[in-house]
Amino acid sequence: MYAWLRQHKVVLSCGFFLVISTGLAVLNARAPSRPDPAGALLLEAMLPLQLGATVVGRGVEQVWDQYFDLRSVRRENDTLRQQVGALEQRVQQLVEMDLANQRLQRLLDLQAHIEAPTVAARIVGRSPGLWADRLVLDKGTQNGMRKDSAVLMPAGVVGRIVFTTAHTARVMLASDPSSGIDAFVQRTRERGIVVGTGNGRARLKYVPKGANVRVGDVLLASGQEGIFPKGHPLGSVFRIGTMGGEMFEDVEVRLNVEFAKLEEVLVTTGGPQYAQQ
């Protein structure tokens, strides 16, 4: 019996206090003005429990409020993160627009110095390889593109058009091994042919041994083939060597244009047109 009472002491204690509280409430309801020593004693005994319950209740209420506050803060953080992401994307778009405007402005400046009619075109395809360096433009014969039209950048010669359709054009770059551009050394007027060797490099061929050519000399298009405007930059001398038994210097050229970074170019319309000078 004692073991059973110990096992259920919590339930029995709660039941006892519940019965006492109920009885006192009934007595107080029947005689609310009559002194009740037992009730006063019970109220005193229950005071710590009521205070504890009040503290616990307030703590639960605070935890509950904090939970909802945290959820609200989390939602606000998610919203702010989305807004920051959208703003960063917009900033990147504005940066790209500004860079595009700068490139187009440079093309317009170049256009003002070229006598022939020109049109700007975007690069929409590339076909680099060991034996061919080519680009595809988004303009074709309907825009005045013709075979052997010059393709230019402010930095230098890009190449020439070798094939066209109504709405596209294929460009052979100056670095293509099949390319050959009549050129001269700006400092000494020595003449030669700039022939591509791939990978953005070229050679100045047919320069006689002993010619006055130095590393760093600037090479310009001569305009003799009637394709490229005379004086438009091509590149600079990178290295000079001698080929045993040959009549000519081995002149390596670094082309000015970084072909891998091109996005827009300027094209002369109507095909070859520059008179030989």
CATH of the domain at 155: 2.40.10.340
Triad 235, 238, 239: Cα angle to 5°: 145
Does residue 43 form part of some domain? yes
Position 82 scores a pLDDT of 77
Print the domain residue range for 259. Answer: 118-268
Same-domain pairing of 154 and 251:
yes
Do 142 and 242 fall into the same domain?
A: yes
Model pLDDT, residue 275: 40
Residues 128 and 263 in one domain: yes
Contact between residue 264 and residue 111 where contact means Cβ atoms under 8 Å apart: no
Q: Which of 18, 34, 60 is the last residue of a domain?
A: 60
- For residue 68, tell me if it sits in a domain: no
Inform me whether the pLDDT recorded for 84 exceeds 90: no
42 occurs within a structural domain: yes
Is residue 167 one of the residues assigned to a domain? yes
The per-residue pLDDT for 204 is 94
Is 47 within a domain?
yes
Mean pLDDT on 149-172: 93
Looking up tokens 């050394």 gives 185
What does the alpha-carbon distance between residue 187 and residue 250 come to, in Å, rounded to a whole number?
18
- In the predicted model, is pLDDT for residue 17 greater than 60? no
- Asked if the structure places residue 90 within a domain, the reply is no
Helical packing angle, 37-112 and 9-30, nearest 10°? 110
The answer to whether position 106 is within a domain reads no
Q: Answer yes or no: do 138 and 220 share one domain.
A: yes
Indicate whether 96 pLDDT > 70.
no
- How far CA 175 is from CA of 39, 80, 181, in Å, comes to 106, 50, 10
**Is residue 67 predicted with pLDDT exceeding 80?**
no
The phi, psi pair for 49, rounded to 5°, reads: -65, -40
- Read off the pLDDT of residues 215-258 as tens digits, 9 standing for 90 and up: 999 999 999 888 999 999 999 999 998 665 678 888 999 999 99
User: Are 130 and 18 in the same domain?
Assistant: no
Decide if 103 is inside a domain.
Answer: no
Considering the domain architecture, whether residues 236 and 133 belong to the same structural domain is answered as yes
161 and 48, same structural domain?
no
Same domain, yes or no, for 37 and 131? no
111 exposure class (CB count in 10 Å sphere: 0-12, 13-18, 19+)? middle
Q: pTM of the full predicted structure?
A: 0.63
Q: What is the pLDDT of residue 13?
A: 56
The fraction of the chain above a pLDDT of 70, given in percent, is 61
Of 43-57, 167-181, 185-199, the poorest mean pLDDT is in: 43-57
133 & 260 share domain:
yes
- Tell me how many domains the chain contains: 2
Q: Which of 19, 41, 60 is the last residue of a domain?
A: 60
